[in-house]
Structure 1
């Protein structure tokens, strides 16, 4: 299945990029905190980050990857990550979020690097993909 995973590719495209997650780990999209909810360039950084599901560390870039997980396994990984972070465990919530994340990942080709700006996701073009003018 296609999912979003943490990547360091294209880091530095934006001055405030960061990559603390583990390369290749599954990521989720958490709602931004009060400091960043109106500004993706806020000091916290959560309005532009993806949360690593295992490391609980974040990155500003995610890559679309094909992974050998079933939908149920993916939903369980998300549920476990949310529970670890103190969210009330809810299988229905994790299943809905897993489906939404998979739908997002499905809109781009495998290998595409994605950035987040609050509720907007966009593909970053890596230097090797740039077309000379």
Structure 2
């Protein structure tokens, strides 16, 4: 199964990159705060972040990873558990898992992606389509 994991790969390509997650930990896409929703490049950074399920920290880069033997039910439970620990609505985990699995199905394993609010793309696409920071 392909899923998103935290990665330090390509960190520094943007001047406002950060990676406070554990390398390889599962990540999800947490909603941005009001400030981050207006501009993903704010100091807060939540509008450009992926959030670690275990560390509860953020990173601006995630990698599509192939986890053999990991099931959708296990993935959903990992999301549910993390959401509950963080005070979010854990009942959203099945829908979130389905959405994230659909998203990563677009790219081959090893693809590094970044986020700009609701848009998640391979990092090299942004580099070609947007001016550098």
What is the TM-score normalised by the length of structure 2? 0.90
SS in structure 2 of the partner of residue 115 of structure 1? strand
Counterpart for residue 124 of structure 1: 123
Counterpart for residue 131 of structure 1: none
Q: Which runs of 4+ in 1 moved over 2 A?
A: none
Counterpart for residue 84 of structure 2: 83
Is residue 2:25 matched to residue 1:25?
Answer: yes
SS in structure 1 of the partner of residue 51 of structure 2? strand
**Number of residue pairs matched?**
123
Contact residue 35 and residue 43 of structure 1 kept, 8 A: no
Shift, 1:35, TM fit:
1.2
Counterpart for residue 15 of structure 1: 15
Uncovered stretches (5+) of structure 2, i.e. residues with no partner: 125-133
- Matched residues in 2 for 1:38 and 1:120: separation? 14
- Matched residues in 2 for 1:19 and 1:87: separation? 22
Shift, 1:88, TM fit:
3.1
Encode CA deviations 1:88-108: one digit per residue, 9 max, x unaligned. 331xx1001001001111101
Shift, 1:121, TM fit:
0.7
Root-mean-square deviation over aligned CA pairs: 0.8
SS in structure 2 of the partner of residue 121 of structure 1? strand
Is residue 2:112 matched to residue 1:113?
Answer: yes
Counterpart for residue 104 of structure 1: 103
What is the TM-score normalised by the length of structure 1? 0.90
Shift, 1:21, TM fit:
0.2
- Matched residues in 1 for 2:23 and 2:89: separation? 27
